[in-house]
Amino acid sequence: MQTDIAIGTITPSGNRTVERVTQAICATLQGVTPLFTRIPVFGNTSPDQAAANPYDWPAMLQAADLLSHAEPAAICWNGSKGGDYGFDIDERLCADIAARTGLPAVTSALATLTLLRRLDAQRIALITPYTAAAHARGIANFTAKGFAVVAERHAGLSDNLSYGAVPPVEIAAMARAAVAEGSAEAIVIFCTNFNGAPVAAMLEAQTGLPVIDSAAAGSWAALRAAGVETSRAVASWGRIFSL
């Protein structure tokens, strides 16, 4: 009989960050097994290239089916498209995955909103790897959910592999520069292939602000949906794991 808890993660095929971050977070917790599957999302993934429906729904649901065979306690879509195209599409995705598999379903984009609300943070510094147009779209989507983007930085990139190639120290520098110019109550590093998770705890110590990294937020949501106590991850991965 299985004695550990498993969490299932669907990740974009061109993403080189989510698995590393999720595995490292789970390694700080006892008895948690991370499971993964991928769907086709690669190349130019900028929201500038938006389609009417940004998700390949059959591929997404098949990925959830495959993960369900290993009986995880929860399934997470750890991709950030929901925030790029509008968060409501992720609500539908979670409902469809839950109905199909009978398992709790979460996404990194919705987890970001949940964490901001738990932190009672309405003014955010938004850090992304995206082009100016795509970044502006993200700002509009956060604004539509009641958050004010009072500081921001974006790297001007449009290719998924280029997002993952930005060193964490550069992401931290972008965040510090943004925070210095505004009155933010939280830092949001938005894009699951933009590897801000390793510097989140350091940024919190330097700025005094909570840091929500997309990939870490998705992992947090899956762990909490699975009933896992996450406070042991705070020292290495930041304040969100105390929530």
Which tens digits make up the pLDDT trace of 1-24?
345 899 999 999 999 999 999 999
| Spatial distance between the Cα atoms of 71 and 64, rounded to a whole number of angstroms | 11
Confidence of residue 202 (pLDDT cuts 50, 70, 90): very high
pLDDT over 50 (residue 226): yes
Of residues 139, 127, 163, the one with CA closest to residue 12: 163
Residue 198 CB partners (closer than 8 Å, separation 6+): 21, 168
Residue 92 and residue 61 share a domain: yes
**Sole residue written with tokens 């109905």:** 99
Burial of 189 (0-12, 13-18, 19+ CB in 10 A): buried
Residue 87 and residue 100 share a domain: yes
Within a domain: 193? yes
CA 8, 96, 86: angle at the middle one, nearest 5? 90
Task: Provide the whole-model pTM.
Answer: 0.94
Return the percentage of the chain with pLDDT > 70, whole number.
94
| Spatial distance between the Cα atoms of 20 and 232, rounded to a whole number of angstroms | 18
Q: What is the mean pLDDT of residues 166-194?
A: 97
Residue 106 and residue 9 share a domain: yes
Residue 104 and residue 32 share a domain: yes
Q: What is the mean pLDDT of residues 195-215?
A: 98
Tally of domains in the chain: 2
pLDDT over 50 (residue 79): yes
Q: What is the mean pLDDT of residues 15-43?
A: 92
Domain carrying residue 29:
5-110+215-237
CATH of the domain at 225: 3.40.50.1860
Confidence of residue 46 (pLDDT cuts 50, 70, 90): low
Confidence of residue 53 (pLDDT cuts 50, 70, 90): low
Residue 152 near residue 130 (C-beta atoms within 8 A): no
Confidence of residue 152 (pLDDT cuts 50, 70, 90): very high
Within a domain: 242? no
Q: Which amino acid type is present at position 139?
A: I
Residue 125 and residue 58 share a domain: no
Within a domain: 243? no
pLDDT over 80 (residue 41): no
Residue 194 near residue 217 (C-beta atoms within 8 A): no
Confidence of residue 221 (pLDDT cuts 50, 70, 90): very high
CA 148 → CA 103, 127, 164, 182, distances in Å?
33, 13, 26, 11
Residue 221 and residue 105 share a domain: yes
Residue 171 and residue 99 share a domain: no
Within a domain: 12? yes
Residue 155 and residue 64 share a domain: no
Residue 85 and residue 101 share a domain: yes
pLDDT over 70 (residue 49): no
pLDDT over 80 (residue 117): yes
pLDDT value for 4 = 86
Cβ neighbours, 10 Å, residue 44: 13
| Spatial distance between the Cα atoms of 201 and 210, rounded to a whole number of angstroms | 9
pLDDT value for 1 = 34
pLDDT over 90 (residue 111): yes
Q: Residue 219 has which token pair?
A: 């992992």
Residue 94 and residue 128 share a domain: no
